[in-house]
């Protein structure tokens, strides 16, 4: 069987002609393991998907493998690089910064590395944010710090003004660490750079604690978020068991995708109801959440509910839409809404309950990365440097089919990865909780 594959082409500033300075690994005689641009990772690996694509004559996309190249585009001794973190905080931001700086400085010999303060605002002179000189001594101790040493901000900034700043300071590589909005801005910056015929590489490192970046199987910070969320579930379960008709209610991150809520509930299987944006549920009615909760309390005397922040937004349809500085819709607080509705429901029935509500969201976002995320961030940061030095641009570093790969920004931006309601993750959640559909149709 022959497969029709098409490489997801990565844009380049030009031919890489300079011999890479990575002759040996860490000063040893061991040769550096270089990656050829021809090394590809298929976007699908399941036999069923491959057979289906073959039967319908579909083309299977392949992604360029990340890693150091034998020839590089930029002369490291003359190169200036800039890093910026944008959007909400996320565990692992400092790990990414540290990995990029140390790889540039020690392995490629780049001495001019600048940190842009407070997101895209840092490029705009009117804000008056000073840039930071990023050196190994400055970043050596930041792994145990939460947040970002560069700070962050939300909201769009003038793309031409950003490129003016890059050109004025002779920046060769811009590393942009952020979510979908940041990657959209990065794509626009790349287009503006190309229009001016400048030789500036723009490399994105996708950041979303919700793990919802399209074409990226795992994003940094997600592992930490799940680990800490399980602690909240343990606390909520202990509180619920401590009182007659005790209810623990936890709201977790997940604006449009319920990966954290679903995964944390499987990691700590004391959860009885999981609510995510991808799966509709009813509150009232014979098969709605309130009736199911009442049955659970009657049978077991306590219950634990985990709700992703984007779940149940249909209940606020009449409240009107508001947006934040980045243009994102401001979600209504499903946690507080459920708290009020549950209390009112049982009060009306004369049933005494004790409900404890936990929202650990901002605490989780600002924590340092756990061990798994820290290692993962190191790979992302170093591969971002390898790509930028080789002259690649308009791309992100992602993880796909257990490999780090180069993904064209246009393939990822503007789309979102979500939990498949009929996929393995969600069906396992249903098996673990036994919650059923929570729809008044009483069907899955």
For the residues of 288-346, what is the DSSP string, one character each? SHHHHHHHHHHHHSEEEEEEETTTTGGGGGGG---B-TTS-B----HHHHHHHHHHHHH
pLDDT at 429 over 90: yes
pLDDT at 428 over 90: yes
First to last CA, the chain: 37
- Residue 327 vs residue 120, higher pLDDT: 120
Closest CA to 191 of 158, 229, 221, 160: 160
According to the model, what pLDDT value does residue 27 have?
Answer: 53
Mean pLDDT of the 315-332 span: 74
According to the model, what pLDDT value does residue 323 have?
Answer: 65
pLDDT at 203 over 50: yes
According to the model, what pLDDT value does residue 348 have?
Answer: 97
According to the model, what pLDDT value does residue 3 have?
Answer: 55
CA–chain centroid gap for 406, Å, is: 16
What whole-number distance in Å separates Cα of residue 107 and Cα of residue 349? 68
The answer to whether 214 and 259 have CB atoms below 8 angstroms apart is no
Range with the lowest mean pLDDT among 33-42, 71-80, 197-206, 428-437? 33-42
Q: Which tokens in the block code for residue 299?
A: 């049978």
pLDDT tens for 334-344 read 999 999 999 99
pLDDT tens for 214-245 read 989 999 999 999 999 999 999 999 999 999 99
* Domains assigned to the chain: 65-219+369-412 (3.40.50.450), 223-366+421-433 (3.40.50.460)
According to the model, what pLDDT value does residue 44 have?
Answer: 66
The answer to whether 416 and 212 have CB atoms below 8 angstroms apart is yes
Q: How many CB atoms lie within 10 A of CB 392?
A: 27
210 is catalytic: yes
Backbone angles phi, psi at 63, to 5 degrees: -115, 140
Q: E strands along 195-300, which residues?
A: 201-206, 246-252, 273-275
Q: Which of 36, 95, 130, 210 is catalytic?
A: 210
CA angle (103, 97, 151) in 5-degree steps: 160
Any residues with CB less than 8 A from the CB of 201 and at least 6 apart, and which?
13, 73, 74, 172, 173, 174, 387, 388, 391, 392, 393
Coil/strand/helix, residue 233 = helix
pLDDT tens for 121-167 read 999 999 999 999 999 999 999 999 999 999 999 888 999 999 999 99
Residue written as token pair 């708290």 = 339
pLDDT tens for 381-391 read 999 999 999 99
This model's pTM is above 0.95: no
């Amino acid at each position: 069987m022959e497969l029709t594959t098409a490489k997801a082409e990565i844009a380049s500033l030009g031919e890489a002609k300079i011999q890479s300075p990575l002759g040996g690994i860490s000063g040893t005689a061991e040769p550096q393991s270089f990656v050829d641009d021809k090394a590809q990772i298929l976007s699908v690996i399941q036999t069923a998907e491959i057979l289906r694509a073959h039967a319908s004559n579909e083309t299977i996309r392949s992604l360029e493998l990340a890693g150091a190249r034998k020839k590089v585009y930029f002369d490291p001794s003359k190169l200036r690089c800039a890093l910026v973190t944008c959007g909400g905080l996320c565990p692992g931001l400092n790990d990414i910064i540290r990995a990029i700086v140390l790889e540039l400085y020690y392995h490629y010999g780049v001495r001019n590395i600048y940190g842009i303060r407070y997101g895209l605002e840092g490029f705009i002179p009117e804000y008056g944010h000073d840039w930071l000189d990023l050196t190994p001594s400055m970043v050596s101790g930041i792994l145990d710090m939460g947040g970002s040493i560069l700070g962050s901000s939300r909201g769009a900034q003038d793309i031409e003004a950003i490129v003016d700043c890059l050109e004025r300071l002779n920046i060769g590589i811009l590393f942009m660490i952020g979510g979908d909005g940041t990657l959209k801005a990065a794509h626009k910056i790349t287009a503006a750079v190309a229009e001016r015929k400048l030789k500036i590489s723009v490399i994105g490192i996708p950041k979303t604690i919700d793990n919802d970046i399209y074409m990226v199987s795992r994003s940094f910070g997600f592992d930490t978020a799940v680990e800490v969320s399980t602690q909240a579930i343990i606390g909520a379960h202990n509180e619920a068991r401590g009182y007659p008709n005790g209810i623990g209610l936890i709201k977790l991150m997940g604006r449009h995708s319920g990966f954290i809520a679903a995964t944390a509930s499987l990691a700590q299987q004391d959860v009885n109801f999981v609510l995510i944006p991808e799966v509709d549920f009813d509150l009232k009615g014979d098969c709605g959440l309130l009736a199911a909760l009442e049955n659970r309390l009657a049978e077991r005397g306590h219950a634990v509910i985990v709700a992703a922040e984007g779940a149940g937004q249909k209940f606020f349809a009449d409240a009107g839409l508001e947006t934040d500085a980045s243009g994102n819709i401001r979600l209504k607080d499903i946690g507080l809404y459920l708290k009020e509705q549950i209390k009112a429901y049982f009060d009306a029935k004369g049933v005494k309950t004790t409900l404890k509500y936990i929202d650990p969201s901002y605490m989780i976002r600002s924590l340092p990365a756990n061990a798994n995320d820290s290692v993962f961030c190191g790979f992302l940061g170093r591969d971002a440097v390898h790509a930028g030095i080789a002259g690649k641009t308009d791309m992100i570093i992602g993880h796909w089919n257990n490999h780090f790969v180069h993904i064209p920004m246009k393939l990822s931006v503007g789309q979102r990865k979500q939990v498949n309601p009929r996929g393995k993750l969600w069906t396992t959640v249903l098996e673990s909780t036994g919650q059923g559909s929570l729809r008044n149709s009483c069907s899955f």
